[in-house]
Amino acid sequence: MTTTQAPAPDHPKTASDAGDRPYATVNPYTGKTEQEFPFLAGDEIDGVIETAHAAFLDWRRRTPTERAAVVKKAAALMRERQGDLAALITREMGKRIQEAAGEVQLAASILDYYADNGPRFLETRPIDVLKGEAVVVNEPTGVLLAIEPWNYPLYQVVRVAGPNLVLGNTILLKHAELNPQCALALEQLFRDAGAPEGVYTNVFLRIADVEQVIAHRHVEGVTLTGSERAGRSVAQLAGKHLKKSVLELGGSDPFIVLDAPDLGRTVKAATMARMANTGQACIAAKRIIVLDEVYDEVVAGLQQAFSSFTPGDPADPATTLGPVSSERAAQDLADQVQDAVDKGATVLAGGGRPDHEGAFVHATLLADVTPEMRAYREELFGPAAVVYRVADADEAVALANDSDFGLSAAVYGSDPGRTRAVADRLESGMVWINQPSGSSAELPFGGVKRSGYGRELSELGMFEFANRRLVRTMPATRQAAPAQHVGG
């Protein structure tokens, strides 16, 4: 089998442009490398896939209820291990400990959702036909490769694992190089929940070995959360080998403020929408677009809020600003901010890096950002936001849509008809009205434009890698006319 070097992702959620980084726990608060892990050897990859395929042949024969019981047990174990898992997330990627605990709870709720609802989603569905009978049977397809990022080490993984394990597929997980211990903890969790060997397998893959996995005849699909460049590379490989792919890529989400009758609530929501997970979220509100009539009041509130964040130990519950995931990620974000400042942007709060050990960047608020600046087009993946003043709703919509991304958006205002009219004009996969963009198990998640394709979560996420097989039955007592032949 011939393999080629897949281009390295260019986004801080995934690997470096220089090639493979080692799988290692590097504490972003201390900068210390705590533990390293070896790559899976190239000559071992086919054997791992064969084991996953053999497991699939047995796993698919179990009933959805039996498979759901394993996922339900995994949710319970996740809650039992919340303290250890949260501490591990904090140590490997710097998430503040309260947010890490919240991620564990969210991940467990997703597993519960698919354990409780998956068997119902998979029930055979009848189709109304003029003669005879027709049904759609929902069946698994096989081994899947999941390439997942570091920013939500548990949540991102269970969005794929929960529905697909209940469906009957088996999973190979290539986690981010920053999260090796989180990856191993998840593998152990599913094993302890009763998943047979090969049903859920962690693989410490080199980037150059990704094509070998995708190309394997027993791998039926690949899903990736990461950068636009990584998505382009994976989509190209999947297309080359005729494999189904789902991509959740970057975002530069707008947060539109039409009016602010409750100024404090609006400012708090915008701040949370930008600063959750230290700004390291695809659906973070990276562009805050405010109508002129309330701009000054909203910006004054944002300045005060952003200026209140102070760096500290993410394991300390009193800390309000944790580090970003790595020294490189901190410097990349600082460079984007500096580029904007050099070209005339105004720093309303923060700016640059604090004099503090660790991978910290000030909570930064920029204004007067223009198209020639990197911050106008690029995703700012960390605690930095851009605020824009616009004259009216039409200008707000035009600015919001002037982006290569289309993941999520939020619209705030007091008039339900006006907010919905604005929301309906936004080019995004998701839109939230009077609530920051978020995620919940029952809500579909995904984007348009260069934010990717496909959906995770909700009932929709159950079927991205399902064979929705048609079964058409006619009475055997007389010869049925053949169906009209159309297409391929």
Neighbour count for residue 18 (Cβ, 10 Å): 8
Please tell me the predicted confidence (pLDDT) of residue 486.
Answer: 53
Residue 106's contacts (CB-CB under 8 Å, 6 or more residues apart) are 155, 439
Using one digit for the tens of pLDDT, what is the confidence trace for 374-406? 999 999 999 999 999 999 999 999 999 999 999
Question: Domain check: are 174 and 84 in the same one?
Answer: yes
* Closest to 383 in 3D by CA, of 310, 448, 450: 310
Task: Give the model's pLDDT for residue 476.
Answer: 87
Domain assignment present for residue 267? The answer is yes
User: pLDDT at position 10, please?
Assistant: 36
**Residue 479 pLDDT level (bands cut at 50, 70, 90):** low
Q: How confident is the model at residue 3 (pLDDT cuts 50, 70, 90)?
A: very low
- So what's the pLDDT on residue 21? 81
CA–CA dist 78, 70 (Å, integer): 12
Q: Are residues 284 and 204 in the same domain?
A: no
Residue written as token pair 């890529």: 249
Residues 228, 338 share a domain: no
Q: Is pLDDT at 9 greater than 50 in this prediction?
A: no
CATH number (domain holding residue 48): 3.40.605.10
Kindly state whether residues 227 and 311 are assigned to the same domain: no
Q: How would you classify residue 308: left for phi > 0, otherwise alpha for psi between -120 and 50, otherwise beta? A: alpha
Report, as an integer, the average pLDDT of 31-43. 96
- Domain, as residue range, for 381: 253-433
Q: What b/e string do you get for 28-63 counting C-beta neighbours within 10 Å, with b at 16 or more? A: bbeeeeeeebebbeeeebeebbebbbbbbeebbeee
Residues 271 and 419 placed together within one structural domain of the fold: yes
Contact residues for 67 (Cβ-Cβ < 8 A; gap 6+): 59, 118, 165, 166, 167, 168
Asked whether residue 299 is domain-assigned, the answer is: yes
CB count within 10 Å of CB 64 equals 19
Residue 14 has a pLDDT of 41
Do residues 59 and 201 both lie within one domain?
A: yes
| Local structure of 125: helix, strand or coil | strand
Q: Does residue 351 surpass a pLDDT of 60?
A: yes
| Residues 463, 418 within the same domain | no
Model pLDDT for residues 165-215, shown as the tens digit of each residue = 999 999 999 999 999 999 999 999 999 999 999 999 999 999 999 999 999
Using a pLDDT cut of 70, give the percent of the chain over it.
94
Whether 282 is catalytic is yes
Q: What is the overall mean pLDDT for the chain?
A: 94
What is the distance between the terminal CA atoms of the chain, rounded to a whole angstrom?
A: 30
The amino acid at residue 451 is S
User: Which residues, listed in sequence order, are joined to residue 248 by a DSSP beta bridge?
Assistant: 225, 452
Q: Is the pLDDT of residue 343 over 70?
A: yes
Q: Does the active-site annotation cover 248?
A: yes
Res 451: pLDDT: 98
Please report whether residue 390 resides in a domain. yes
- 243's tokens: 């494999």
- Please count the residues of the chain: 488
Examine the domain organization and report whether 188 and 76 are in the same domain: yes
Q: Could you tell me if residue 413 is inside a domain?
A: yes
Residues 6+ apart with CB under 8 A from 202: 173, 175, 183, 184, 186, 187
Look at residue 4 and tell me if it is in a domain.
no
Count of structural domains, the chain: 2
Average pLDDT over residues 26-55: 97
| Same domain membership, residue 396 and residue 299 | yes
Asked if pLDDT for residue 245 goes beyond 70, the answer is yes
Are both 151 and 51 inside the same structural domain?
Answer: yes
Q: What pLDDT shows up at residue 482?
A: 59
Tokens at 298, concatenated: 């909203």
* Closest alpha carbon to 28 in 437, 352, 315: 315
Q: Which of 220, 248, 379, 464 is catalytic?
A: 248
Residue 451 lies in a domain: no
At residue 477 the predicted structure's pLDDT band, cuts being 50, 70 and 90, is confident
Q: Which of 103, 211, 282, 464 is labelled catalytic?
A: 282
| pLDDT the model gives residue 487 | 56
| pLDDT one-digit tens code per residue, 419-440 | 999 999 999 999 999 999 999 9
Are 259 and 245 in the same domain? no
Supply the pLDDT for residue 308.
Answer: 97
> In the block, which residue shows the tokens 């710097």?
94
